[in-house]
Amino acid sequence: MPHLVSCPFPLGYNSTVKIKLRNPSREVELSGRKRVKEVLRELDILPSTVLVIRGSDLLTADEVVGDEDVLEVRPVMSGGSAGASASRIPSASRIQ
């Protein structure tokens, strides 16, 4: 006789994840539980180019999302400070 297992979700339940994308700003909803790297692959986004945030938590590519999660995908920005660059440029008084 088969062993019956209770499902933690009601019949017809469809786990979704809502994704808020920046640059350009838009919202996308995907169904099912999946890893962050799978979400990014579906959205055609390279994982090394973005940060994925759930609430106040920064997520790794292997974390599983779904169950009505709301994610924010922000582009990674990098660069130096303007002051550091300017200090390496010799001033006119030092050139003479």
Interatomic CA distance for residues 60 and 47, integer angstroms: 9
In a domain, 11, yes or no: no
Express each pLDDT in 20-70 by its tens digit: 998 889 999 999 999 999 999 999 999 999 999 999 999 999 999 998 999
What's this model's pTM, rounded to 2 decimal places?
Answer: 0.67
Q: How many domains does the chain have?
A: 1
Express each pLDDT in 60-78 by its tens digit: 999 999 989 999 999 998 8
According to DSSP, the β-strands at 69-75 and 16-21 are: parallel
**How far is C-alpha 35 from the geometric centre of its chain's CA atoms?**
11
Q: Which of residues 15 and 62 earns the better pLDDT score?
A: 62
- Of the candidates 33, 68, 37, 73, which has an alpha carbon nearest to the alpha carbon of residue 53? 73
The CATH number of residue 35's host domain is 3.10.20.30
In a domain, 8, yes or no: no
Q: What pLDDT does 67 receive?
A: 87
Task: Tell me the residue range of the domain where 40 lies.
Answer: 16-75
Interatomic CA distance for residues 85 and 88, integer angstroms: 6
